[in-house]
Structure 1
Amino acid sequence: MRIAVIQMIAQPDVETNLALIRKYIAAAAANRADLVVFPEAAMFPFDNGRLDQIAQPLDGPFATAVVDTARKHNITAVVGMFTPADTVYRHPSGDIVEELPEGAGQANKIRRVYNTLLVAGPDLVTSYDKIHTYDAFGYSESDTVKPGTRRITCEVAGVTVGLATCYDIRFPNHFIDLANADAKVIVVPTSWADGPGKLDQWRTLTAARALDSTSYLVAASQARPGTPDRYGRADGPTGIGHSVVIGPDGAKLAETGYAAQVLTVDIDPNYVDKVRKSLPVLAGHLRERQLEDIVVAVGDER
């Protein structure tokens, strides 16, 4: 199975990004890739305007163009975009509520979106809405992004592929459950913000999730904007680069740097079976869920 990983910097213009995405899809297909993976928010970058004003449904012009391009070139593409979700309100307490509080003005209305991965292939169109919103390091994605509720796998070139997005990578069970649903490849489009220690965290988490799930992990990241003297500082909201492909045994197969780049990697899905046979951690995870609750020991229990 051949996978193309696109590391790009999304621009604050949907049409510009769509043209670039279509170009990358065609190039990946010409290079005989089965799957091409784009970053989270490839449609439009974070912190560049209201997401509800650029969000489009899955039958809208952006997704339709991606689907048509993927089908034209007989390839499966995973593309980060935003789709409309719901309308909620900010309560005077600061909480997000579904009903307009009495006496609250319309200024408290929030039209949320889903942080969506569009999956478009020759005979497939599906989507995954990010489950774990990025509410950390002073950021509150859930203010404007509604969490998804469905975990998704799909088949690409005869291989089961699981889907995750960015902050999902901090939650091991998401990956373990995808692997238990027979995913041999898990793709992780991301827009990982830069900052002190963030690259170390990213590298640790990607390797750990590959090992937790004994699956290939394919992470496509937004490239790092700015000049090299800014690397490692918390002023790169778009991404940190360092897209990576990691094997089910934790071996790093390929990694980019900070700048825009394309990785093309050939993987052997049958190797997953070999690793899972010699390292049966998935069975261990299932047994762990059947254990009794944790007991707090107090005093002499003899």
Structure 2
Amino acid sequence: MKIAAVQFLATGSTKDNMQACLERIRAAAENGARLVVLPEAASQAFGTGRLDTQAENLEGSYASALRAEATRLGVTVVAGTFRPADTIERDGKTINRVYNTALITGPDLHTGYDKIHTYDAFSYRESDTVKPGTQLCTFDVDGVTIGVATCYDIRFPEQFRELARAGAKVIVVPFSWADGPGKLEQWRLLSAARALDSTSYLVAAGQARPGGQEQAGQDSGPTGIGHSVVVDPTGRRLTEAGYGEEIIYADLDIERVAAVRKQLPVLG
């Protein structure tokens, strides 16, 4: 199975981001990808304004446009977006929270995974504006079960092990990882570890680093560090992006998953 991980830098405009996503989906499909993974927050970058003002359900213009193009091209697409969730009162303010949703769409498929582990860490509280999801999610592409996780979920190994136990042989991870001292090292370690301890392929697509390599290593907030990656079930990186915008590809040998799990039976 050929997959593509799309790394780009989203803006604050859902309309502009939709066009950017469609262009990259077409490019990936033309290069033979059957599964195209785009970053978390692909519809609206973090730090660009209130998320609730552009949040849409899966019947909205952003999700519908990606669905139509994925269906036309015969590919499956995963892309980060935001959906309306609930209204809460906090510190005297009324907040319209959203779900941080990984849209999953293509021929005869249109659903989403709501990020379970909100990024309440390093003095940031995603749960103030994002309602956590509660359900694991898998879907099928060409007879292969695919699991889904989003960004901060990667710090919770049991989610990845449960997806593997549910039949996932590939786990896709849209992300928008904060930069800062030691953060790239943490990302590279965690992405390899989650592939290894779930004995699955991991396909992670992230936001490019604002400012590129010149800003690398500086605190950025949750606005991207690049380094999209494909990792095999033994934790070996098959391909990895840098800080800028690009699309990376890999041909996944799905039969290798069963062989690795036989040699390393850690899911029992």
TM-score with structure 1 setting the length: 0.87
Distance 2:242 2:30 in 1: 24
Letter in 2 for 1:196: P
Partner of 1:298: none
Distance 1:250 1:3 in 2: 17
The 5-angstrom pairing of residues 284-295 of structure 1 reads none
Contact 1:217 1:245 in 2 (8 A): yes
Q: Could you tell me which of 116, 120, 123 is aligned with 2:108?
A: 123
Q: Does 1:8 align with 2:8?
A: yes
Q: Secondary structure at the match of 2:164?
A: helix
Distance 1:115 1:227 in 2: 25
Partner of 1:259: 244
Structure 1: any 5+ residue segments left out of the alignment?
92-103, 284-302
Letter in 2 for 1:64: S
Q: Does 1:240 align with 2:225?
A: yes
Partner of 1:282: 267
Contact 1:163 1:187 in 2 (8 A): yes
Q: Secondary structure at the match of 1:173?
A: helix
Q: Could you give the per-residue CA deviations for residues 23-65 of structure 1, whole angstroms, max 9, x where no partner exists?
A: 1111111111110000000000001100000100111111111
- Percentage identity across paired residues of the two chains: 58
Distance 1:223 1:121 in 2: 25
Letter in 2 for 1:68: A
The 5-angstrom pairing of residues 1-302 of structure 1 reads 1-91=1-91, 108-235=93-220, 237-283=222-268
Contact 2:201 2:231 in 1 (8 A): yes
Shift of 1:168: 0.1
Contact 1:226 1:236 in 2 (8 A): no
Shift of 1:228: 2.9
Structure 1 residue ranges (4+ consecutive) displaced by more than 6 angstroms after TM superposition:
none
The number of residue pairs the alignment matches comes to 268
- C-alpha change, 1:253 and 1:227, in structure 2 (3 Å) is closer
| Structure showing greater Rg | 1
Structure 2: any 5+ residue segments left out of the alignment?
none
TM-score with structure 2 setting the length: 0.98
Distance 1:90 1:179 in 2: 37
Q: Secondary structure at the match of 1:39?
A: coil
Letter in 2 for 1:75: V
Q: Could you give the per-residue CA deviations for residues 147-174 of structure 1, whole angstroms, max 9, x where no partner exists?
A: 0011000001111000000000000000
Q: Secondary structure at the match of 1:28?
A: helix
Structure with more strand by fraction = 2
Distance 1:156 1:18 in 2: 23
Q: Could you give the per-residue CA deviations for residues 168-219 of structure 1, whole angstroms, max 9, x where no partner exists?
A: 0000000000000010000000000100000000000001100110000011
Q: Secondary structure at the match of 1:229?
A: helix
Superposed CA RMSD:
0.9
Distance 1:9 1:62 in 2: 17
Distance 2:106 2:128 in 1: 32
Letter in 2 for 1:221: G
